[in-house]
Structure formats: C-alpha cells, structure tokens
Structure 1
Amino acid sequence: MKRQKRDRLERAQSKGYQAGVNGRSSEACPYHNIDTRCQWLGGWRDGRDIKTTNMK
C-alpha cells in the first residue's frame, strides 16, 4: 500500500515539474487532494526555477 502512495505522489511531482518547465500556471494543478496538490506544486516550483535559471 505505501508503494502505491509513493508512486502516486512521485507522479504528481513529475507532472508538476513538467508543467513548470513548460510555463504553465500554478492554477493549472489538476489535483484536489492536499498531499498530491502539494507534491504537484513542489514539482512546479522546481520546474519554474529551472526555466528561469536557463533564461538568464
């Protein structure tokens, strides 16, 4: 059971990262569950940081 939860959260983080790199808004988060939403937003922030670092 824990493996499924970890995989789901890792997938949410990965999808958020891709959204951040592609320049999507944080409002585009498709998750409503607090845990998965936090993971998605964390990935989104990481992706935005990478995007802004590469633009400098």
Structure 2
Amino acid sequence: MFGLFKKKSKKEVLEKKYRKLLEESHRLSTVNRIESDKKMYEANQVLEEIEKL
C-alpha cells in the first residue's frame, strides 16, 4: 500500500520500454519485416542502456 506512489527507477522504466519494443517487433515480424527489424534495433539500444546501469 505504501508503494503506490513510489517513483519508478530509471532501470524499471527502461525495462518496460524494452519489453514493449520487443512485443511490437514480434507483432510486426509477420506483417512488415523491415519495421520489425527497426524495433528490434531500438530494443537492443535500450538493452545496452540497461546494461550500463
């Protein structure tokens, strides 16, 4: 209950963004391979930021 208004850490925000990009990449993989690859590249960039933390 006391954690309701807790601000998320930068790592938590980046992990959420990473998961979202992977989901979008997977969804696009059956429709548009080029866009899927772009999302995967963005996800890898976010992963590198997470690893730096």
Smaller-chain TM-score bracket? 0.3 to 0.5
TM-score, with structure 2 as normaliser: 0.47
Tell which structure's C-alpha radius of gyration is larger: 2
